[in-house]
Amino acid sequence: MTAYAIARLQDAPLHADIADYIERIPATFEPYGGRFLVHVTPHEVKEGSWSGGIVMIGFPGID
């Protein structure tokens, strides 16, 4: 059964450390068959407020 990891990103100024971190993220989940399903795509807020973005990673299973 497919498993998902969902994260809400907070707005932060981009600097060298964050850029390096972002570049290395896929190496942490690709060995487990993970892949980005949603990666900071535009979204529409229907109620309330929502800053930042969403990331969703899918895996073939929970293991």
Q: Which residues of 23-55 are buried (b: 16+ CB within 10 A; e: fewer)?
A: eeeeeeeeeeebeeeeeeeeeeeeeeeeeebeb
Can you give the residue range of the structural domain that contains 37? 3-59
- The pTM (predicted TM-score) of the whole model is 0.76
Per-residue pLDDT of the chain (63 residues; tens, 9 = 90+): 999 999 988 878 888 888 898 899 999 999 999 999 998 777 888 999 888 888 999 999 998
Tally the domains of the chain: 1
